[in-house]
Amino acid sequence: MVDKITPIDLRILKLLSKNARLTYKELAEMLGTTRQRISRRMNRLEQNGVVLRYTVIPNYDLLGYIHVILGVTVKPGIDLDEVIKELEKDENVKIIQRALGSHNLVLHIIGPKDMKELEKIISGVTKKIPGIDNLDITFITETVKFESL
């Protein structure tokens, strides 16, 4: 059972979403509490699955890569769980999201700026998805704002 999320939990998460490198001591100072309280709250948030991981958001352009989002709609009757299991194995697929609306799946792919190579990667990914009814491809040119909370 997930513990109740408290206002301090939300404040901790908001601060960490802006800078995941903050120490417990820094968080405690910013929030006017103790390092031990921050440590206890963070342990609970991690154990309850509220905090899934700490990560880096790279600038793909500076690294020589391109960020592509595939919006995928599959025909009725396709087992999305099986499709997802297969896509999880693909090193080019960085984010897999189930979706409601225009698409069943949203996939984030990081690939080279070379369009022929990128085409091969996208083709390889889509071949793993049986029964595609619709596919939209969006090239991300710039992430202007990224906040998780």
What per-residue confidence (pLDDT) applies to 144?
87
The pLDDT assigned to 136 comes to 97
Is the residue at 55 inside a domain?
Answer: no
- What proportions of the chain, in percent to the nearest 5, are helix, strand and coil? 40, 20, 40
> Is there a domain that residue 1 lies in?
no
Whether residue 78 is found in the same domain as residue 119: yes
Is there a single domain that holds both residue 70 and residue 102?
Answer: yes
> Where residue 120 sits, what CATH number does that domain have?
3.30.70.920
Structure confidence at residue 22 (pLDDT): 95
Average pLDDT, the chain: 94
Same domain for 92 and 34: no
Shared domain check, 65 and 31? no
Same-domain status, 42 and 65: no
Question: Do 88 and 123 share a domain, yes or no?
Answer: yes
Domain count, the chain: 2
Q: pLDDT under 50 in the chain at which residues?
A: none
DSSP one-letter string for 29-77 = HHHTS-HHHHHHHHHHHHHTTS---------HHHHTEEEEEEEEEE-TT
One domain, residues 67 and 107? yes
Cβ neighbours of residue 49 closer than 8 Å, sequence gap 6 or more: 2
Residues 134 and 82 in one domain: yes
Residues 71 and 117 in one domain: yes
Both 127 and 87 in a single domain? yes
Residue 68 falls inside a structural domain: yes
Establish if 31 belongs to a structural domain: yes
pLDDT at position 112: 94
Q: Which domain holds residue 125?
A: 61-140
